[in-house]
Amino acid sequence: MADQAFVTLATNESYARGAMVLGKSLRNHNTTKKLVALVGPHVSEPCQSVLKRIFDEVRVVDVLDSGDTAHLAMMKRPDLGVTFTKLHCWTLTHYSKCVFMDADTLVLSNIDELLEREELSAAPDPGWPDCFNSGVFVFSPSNETYAKLLQHCTEHGSFDGGDQGVLNSFFNTWATADISKHLPFIYNLSSIAIYTYLPAFKQYGGNAKVVHFLGKTKPWSYTFDPKAKQISGSVHEATAHPTFLLDWWTLYSSAVVPLLQEQYGDQPFHSGCVEGESSPFAEALGPQLSSEERKQKWEQGQADYMGMDSFDNIKRKLDTFLK
């Protein structure tokens, strides 16, 4: 239907590249819906031009900021106040229904069926499953809802400083009222779940339709060698399963970088692709830690997912327990 759309948001260059990959992944899986990107006014001209080649509509919006440093500090994400900007999606009233998707999500198969769901449908948040995660949600644009949401922000603020807190307190019957509004987790699989419930990931992970690179470390925090198909980066707090990261980088380097190169022309730009990097995740392994230090880091939520605490190592350990 022409009046249905997938919508994303990027207020800066990095998230804009995420949005490009997301848009390409939707196109590659033959979506019949429109694609809309909301962008902040500071996203550069070449980036906006590339977005226009992938999306049907690129709309510049004011950046809304919660400015709520106390709550954001609690999440250790001082950067997420601007996610209030997401609320602008309710103003897209030339569509009857839409799916919002964070710019750090990647589509692995056609998900047009999501538009059969009603507002507000979303998947549980892996950190607190009675809340929904606002990285993927179905909504119905409406100026009235938009006004009410803004009023809600003014009166109650956000318990996490970002949009997810506001949306969960606004749509506060999500957890209990209607199970059809609970999207299966495969529509918003965050890698965190892989490490917190590995057997479930082994059982169901193969059905994933959308992966969400939730957390501080994003795919673009790494660098990639397209020839060797290797990812590396000095990032310790890795959040993604290497296979999904590789999917993201493969799509970015093959389908997005050429468009960026065309738009930037002679102007220099940093694609994140570098040739001749050595062993994957080499730097991410970091200095060797004692097992006590590793345990402490793990308990602080800083597991070395790309190194010692990698998926394969955890699996090996679990297999020995199961035997």
Pick 8 or 271: Cβ nearer ligand GLC: 8
Residue by residue, DSSP assigns 28-67 as HTT--SEEEEEE-TTS-HHHHHHHHHH-SEEEE-PPP---
- Residue 277 is a binding residue for Mn ion (CB under 5 A): no
Residue 102 binding Mn ion, by CB under 5 A? yes
Tokens of 98: 């839409």
Using CB distances below 5 to 8 A depending on partner kind, what does residue 165 bind out of ligand UDP, ligand GLC, Mn ion, none?
ligand GLC
| 48 binding partner (options ligand UDP, Mn ion, ligand GLC, none; Cβ < 5 to 8 Å by kind) | none
Residue 261's H or E segment, with its range, is helix 257-264
Q: Rounded to the nearest whole angstrom, what is the least distance from the CB of residue 103 to ligand UDP in the complex? A: 4
Burial of residue 301 (CB within 10 Å: 0-12, 13-18, 19+) is: exposed
11 binds, among Mn ion, ligand GLC, ligand UDP, none (CB under 5 to 8 A by kind): ligand UDP
Task: List the single partner that 12 binds among Mn ion, ligand GLC, ligand UDP, none, CB under 5 to 8 Å by kind.
Answer: ligand UDP
Element (H, E) at 232: strand 230-232
Phi and psi at 145, nearest 5°, equal -60, -40
Q: What is the dihedral of CA 284, 290, 296, 298, to 10 degrees?
A: 40
Based on the shown chain and the rule CB under 6 A, indicate whether residue 191 belongs to the binding site for ligand GLC.
no
The verdict on 277 binding ligand GLC (CB under 6 A) reads no
Among 7, 9, 50, 256, binds ligand UDP (CB under 6 A): 9
- Near ligand UDP by CB under 6 A: residue from 82, 92, 138, 257: 82
Q: Who's near 310: CB < 8 A, 6+ residues apart?
A: 242, 304
Which residue lies nearest ligand UDP, judged by its C-beta?
A: 102
18 in contact with ligand GLC (CB under 6 A): no
102 in contact with ligand GLC (CB under 6 A): yes
d(Cα 46, Cα 277) in Å, to the nearest integer?
A: 28
From CA 64, how far away is CA 57, in angstroms rounded?
20
| Sheet containing 189-190: order of strands | 105-107, 210-212, 189-190
Instruction: Between 43 and 260, name the residue whose CB sits nearer to ligand GLC.
Output: 43
Closer by beta carbon to Mn ion, 64 or else 214: 214
Alpha helices in 62-211 (DSSP H): 69-74, 143-156, 163-170, 192-196, 198-204
Q: In this chain, which of 40, 165, 219, 272 binds ligand GLC, going by CB under 6 A?
A: 165
Residue 133 or 271: the one with the smaller Cβ distance to Mn ion is: 133
Q: List the interface residues with ligand GLC, window 104-133 (CB under 6 A).
A: 133
3 state SS of 195: helix
Long-range interactions of 64-67: CB distance < 8 A, separation 24+? 64/88, 66/153, 66/157, 66/158, 66/161, 66/162
Tell me: does residue 115 bind ligand UDP (CB under 6 A).
no
Q: Please give the residue ranges that form the binding site for Mn ion (CB under 5 A).
A: 102, 104, 135, 214
Q: Please give the residue ranges that form the binding site for ligand GLC (CB under 6 A).
A: 80, 83, 102, 133-135, 160, 162-165, 214
Q: Please give the residue ranges that form the binding site for ligand UDP (CB under 6 A).
A: 8-12, 15, 79-80, 82-83, 86, 102-104, 135, 214-215
